[in-house]
Amino acid sequence: MMKRNLLALSLGMLCLSAAAQLNYVPKATSNAITQTNLMLKELDAIGIPKGDLVTPRTLEKGELKLVASKDWCSGFFPGELWYLYEMGLGAQYKSAAEKYTAFIEKEKTNGVTHDMGFKVYCSVGNGYRLTKDPHYKDVLIESARTLSTRFNPKIGLIRSWDHHKEQWDYPVIIDNMLNLELLFEATKLTGDSSFYKIAVSHANKTMQHHFRADYSTWHVVDYNPATGIPQKKQTHQGYSDESAWARGQAWALYGYTMCYRETRDPKYLAQAEHVAAYIFGHPNMPKDLIPYWDFNAPGIPNEPRDVSAATVIASGLYELSTYSKKGKSYLAKANTMMKNITSNYMAAPGTAKGFILLHSTGSKPSNTEVDAPLSYADYYYLEAMSRALRLSKHKPIVD
């Protein structure tokens, strides 16, 4: 039955490919099914949950590296399963998604991290979007309340890290933009505008202080807690403080596109377009549009790529294409990126313990997860493909 469903989907997508350039979809869905089935088999053999370990993050010395629910990457694998279910690739993925989502739910009260959106919205949020389960709704609302406790009204921003207090007083990272989606959703679910106002404040302050004149972004801005004034700007995971870390640019493009969706404030659309112009106008962007880990890395072209940045950018572009006058260009770029990822950066079926994509870069400065598979690369790859399919059927990116 699954093979027949996949064949039907593949044939349908091939019919669309001439117009929508979705010819990558049959191979992508086939590989995603094979790899995810392998991953589930590997996890079953391990016996998840194994202590606190509940979800895969990467490979380490050829073996699955599993993480606890408190890890910022914990929600991505459950989210992948929800996307496979959404794309009609099998009801068994709904059951698996429910199982692995349940492991993440306790994070709803974890107030020592800003990564609530990554953890809870990518897992529970997708579950609620597809099932409208009232339990998932309650988890989302409580998670948003917990995240809101990290907002400092005087500074106008949600604090990111609590660690390395000797290095930063009130650090805010560009990644934090993606956690705002949970807050916007909470206002829609409750009618409480406080969540919305926190998200808007954070987006505005980040726009004000996180970007250089060319719309490249710093990774970390440290604020003086007493005055709310930036006192240090760094690119912690990039080549240097003044360089453009590729995934940081990706978070910015995706984050401001999402903020425009939720507010319809034209300044957010303009910001996303400016970031896109920086990314695709950069002389160090490769011809296949899969960026190096940092646009200013000194060893280009002999530097690692970051497929995770590419998948985030592609997913963001699919949505941005629906709002912008440059939509056709953005759509073409997203399709090109996804086609090239599928052709050249995908794990061979039956390998990599079930990860879908290879060649991402977690943190090059600390030499961790370099040229490796990463759960968030797979997540945003499937999200991008899901968005492309919705667009091909003239459906909105988000219900």
The annotation places the binding site at: 115, 175, 235, 247, 251, 363, 366
Is 162 annotated as catalytic? no
Is 214 annotated as catalytic? no
List the structure tokens of 177.
Answer: 């933009």
Q: Binding site residues for substrate, as ranges?
A: 115, 175, 235, 247, 251, 363, 366
Q: Which of 52, 162, 175, 192 is catalytic?
A: 175
How many Cβ atoms sit within 10 Å of the Cβ of residue 112? Answer: 11
Looking at the DSSP bridge assignments, the partners of residue 158 are 151
Q: Which of 52, 71, 115, 138 is catalytic?
A: 115
C-alpha to C-alpha distance for 336 and 325, rounded to whole angstroms = 19
C-alpha to C-alpha distance for 12 and 6, rounded to whole angstroms = 10
Contact between 365 and 237 (Cβ < 8 Å): yes
b/e 87-99 (16+ beta carbons within 10 angstroms → b): bebbeebbebbbb
Contact between 302 and 244 (Cβ < 8 Å): no
The residues, any chain, with a CB within 8 Å of residue 323's CB and separated by 6 or more, are 257, 260, 261, 269
Which amino acid is located at 175 in the chain? D
Q: Which residues are catalytic?
A: 115, 175
